[in-house]
Amino acid sequence: MGDIEAVLAPWAEATFGAFGCSETPADLEQHLPVIRVERIGGADDRFSLHPRVAVDVFAATADEARTLANSVRDALIFLRGPVGDAVIRSVDCGAGPSRQPWANEAIHRRGATYTVSLRTA
């Protein structure tokens, strides 16, 4: 069955032209803007997955992070159909993009959570 990180990270990269990943690269500053997709929970059943995912946007400025995070949210909540090796049935935003702390003050982070319902294509 499709791994949500392997489905959404490449989709985000292709859709927004930002570096898409499931793990923050060690040289994050060299890849900005970055969209990180991590599964943080959710349920699976026999024929479908319902993962809860954290989507974090990292950017050089607060405005860029806010704008990109809002664009990702807008695209995700309307995402349906084939994406990679999965078929997206629905996406619900559990917590919209908000400012998140990050150790490096030169990097601005916005995070949101979503529940994605999907099945293998």
pLDDT by residue for the chain (121 residues), tens only, comes to: 459 999 999 999 999 999 999 999 999 999 999 999 999 999 988 889 999 999 999 999 999 999 999 999 999 999 999 999 999 999 999 999 999 999 999 999 999 999 999 998 7
List Cα–Cα distances, 80 to 23, 89, 98, 104, in angstroms. Answer: 25, 6, 24, 35
Strands (E), 60-107: 81-83, 86-100
**Quick one: pLDDT at residue 120?**
87
Question: Domain of 82?
Answer: 4-120
**Quick one: pLDDT at residue 21?**
97
**Quick one: pLDDT at residue 47?**
86
Would you state the torsion angle of the CA atoms of residues 36, 64, 60, 13, taken in this order, to the nearest 10 degrees? 30
Number of domains in the chain: 1
As a whole number of angstroms, the distance between CA 2 and CA 93 comes to: 20
CATH of the domain at 35: 3.30.2000.30
**Quick one: pLDDT at residue 39?**
97
Asked whether 37 and 5 are in contact (CB, 8 A), the reply is: yes
As a whole number of angstroms, the distance between CA 36 and CA 57 comes to: 6
